Structure 1
Amino acid sequence: MGTLAYSLRDFLRLSAYLLSHPQLRILGLNALEHQNSGYSAPPIFEAVIELRLDPHLSDSQIRKLAKMMAREYPNVRDETEVEFKIDLIGEEPKPSVVSKSPSLRLSSDNEVNSVTVKKDRIFLSRLAPYCGWGEFFDRFSFVLKSISKEYKSRNVKRLGLRYRNRIDIPIDEAVPVLHYEDYLSAHITLPEVLDPLGFYTWRIDKPFEELGLRAMVASETVPPEIPKTGAFLLDIDVYFSPNISFGKVDFSERLLEMRNLKNRIFESVITDKARANFH
């Protein structure tokens, strides 16, 4: 029997092809997603794709983009940030505007999907329950199609893929201590006088030069939302900063590379004890 050998690049090209052919994606991409995770209850509470561009958009261009995406995101909230300065010299305070950063948040009717458009960036967010990579990428493709005319002459400064995971674990009432090191292979080694701890936070920033990517991985404890449990976050942000023309970026291929790296990091950081909570 012969053996077929495929490179990572071949695999990514095949995956990109499946992304562009919906009738095949149903059979192919969803199967890949299931094979990669296998979790019936993944701990993802937010997935984000961020796109930073240069030069910036004007207020009118931002509002135009909001109208173009209204079919999928009918709810619009103005989140413009305004910085004021108050001059206290004289008899009466005199406020004046120092800077104004326009921002619109567009959301679906159920509020779990949203797009935020700012003058220098746009990001797509999906809240729990996570819909799977196929649907998430479809939503980003819709955003790309909507913004391509406005952004085609701009440079991509950063493309980021971020997954924020909340891991809830049971705590023994008799000994209410969260041993997070039992659930994460990356953790802080403490001297006995500081262990056990009530709160922690750590962050790692690592380049992956062979892929042209970087990853920021962070974790911290958070207040529990479920009785008799403890909780901590595992935040994985994979990105690249090409500073090249919008039209020269192969978004589907790059995002698949970033997703594969994100999955590798996630699986290497969590332990089997953590995995048991995702089924």
Structure 2
Amino acid sequence: MIFPNPPITEAIFDITVNLRDSFNHEILLTFHEEVKESFPNIQKRMAFQGGIELKLDNLDEIHPQLLPISNKPEGYIFVSQDEKRVVQARLNGFTFSRLKPYESWESFYTEANQLWEKYAQLTSPVKVTRLALRYINQILIPATGTVELKNYIKTVPEISNDLSVIMEDYFMRIIVAHADYRPSKAIINQTIGQVTENEKGERVVPLIFDIDVFQQVNLQHDDEEIKNIFELNLRSFRDEIFFKSITDQTKELFK
């Protein structure tokens, strides 16, 4: 089902890999040479770890800080001129993101797969270990009075009837599996924000509905099964979760 005004704010295609130990990270810059016409902007991606600095002469002073694990980047981020498409070429994998407006699965997947094949051709991964498809949706619920979330989303947190409270905010995270799509799993995150205004100046409550479907694998980078898992498993699983979680009233918001 295609909506004129889809709620997708970001669609993400992600593949985790193992590269050979002797891999030269500068090869990732060669990848940029091949795609820079479409993705001219480049940023380094560094790996950091949290740390705490303690001064022995003053133990009352504690300074949390992020420390780089290495002076070498763990990858690079390539961004299109309009900043709507982003590629991450990393030592542990590849990610393609499409920001709003999302056009269609066909255009999104075709571009993601073409870029992945370029990455794989240059890096020759030892193996592919994880495939993931993530869709971050923002549903703008009209705030014309008391908002009943169940009118828009079918899975919501329940508050005891014995509590006389009003839910002002929530964050919910669940991990699910489905017999038809095993061994894939899905991480579903939901949260609501504060009342704001949409482009028309109408008061709305933003509901974030984040669906991250993934499968642990052990495949060669050129295995046809990668394409099958994305198109026949992960995409279908994501669609089932989305369409069976929203109501007809929600669908009207996307027209």
Matched, 1:217 2:181: no
Measure how far apart 1:82 and its partner are. 4.3
Indicate if the aligned counterparts of 2:151 and 2:249 stay in contact, CA closer than 8 A.
yes
Instruction: Give the number of the structure whose residues are more often helix, by fraction.
Output: 1
Deviation per CA, 1:41-90: give whole Å up to 9, x if none: 11000000011001365421222222222122111122323458768569
**Consecutive unaligned residues in structure 2, runs of 5 or more:** 58-64
> Residue 198 of structure 1 aligns with which residue?
168
Alignment of 1:57-72 (within 5 A): 58-72=24-38
- Give 1 or 2: higher strand fraction: 2
Per-residue deviation, 1:109: 1.0
Residue in 2 that maps onto 1:77: 43
8 Å contact kept, 1:80–1:103: yes
Query: Which one-letter code corresponds to 1:207 in the other structure?
Result: A
| Residue identity in the other structure for 2:185 | R
1:155 pairs with 2:131: no
Structure 1: unaligned runs, 5 residues or longer = 1-36
The match for 2:4 is 40
Contact 1:43 1:165 in 2 (8 A): yes
CA distance in 2: counterparts of 1:108 and 1:214, whole angstroms: 31
RMSD: 2.5
Aligned residue identity for 1:273: Q
- CA deviations over 1:81-118 (Å, ceiling 9, x no partner): 3458768569xxxx9x6613523110111110110122
Give % identity: 19
Measured after TM superposition, the shift of residue 143 of structure 1 is: 0.7
What residue is the counterpart of 2:60 in the other structure? none
Matches within 5 A, 1:66-145: 66-83=32-49, 88=55, 99-100=69-70, 101-145=73-117
* Alpha carbons 1:168, 1:231 under 8 Å: kept: yes
Contact 2:89–2:119 (CA under 8 A) maintained in structure 1: no
- The TM-score, its normalising length taken from structure 2, stands at 0.83
Contact 2:32 2:78 in 1 (8 A): yes
Partner of 2:229: 254
1:59 alignment partner, SS class: coil
Counterpart of 1:180 (choices 125, 149, 156) is 149
SS in 2 for 1:109: coil
* Corresponding position of 1:21: none
In the superposition, relative to structure 1, how do residues 259 and 75 fare at CA in structure 2: closer, same or farther (>3 Å)?
Answer: same
| Counterpart AA for 1:53 | V
Indicate if the aligned counterparts of 1:84 and 1:99 stay in contact, CA closer than 8 A. no
TM-score (norm 1): 0.76
Deviates more, 1:251-260 or 1:50-59: 50-59
The separation in 2 between residues aligned to 1:84 and 1:269, in whole angstroms, is 37
Q: Measure, in 2, the Cα distance between the counterparts of 1:69 and 1:133.
A: 21
Q: Distance in 1 between matches of 2:243 and 2:98?
A: 21
Give the paired residue count.
Answer: 236
Report if aligned partners of 2:43, 2:77 keep a CA contact under 8 Å in 1: yes
What residue number does 1:23 align with? none
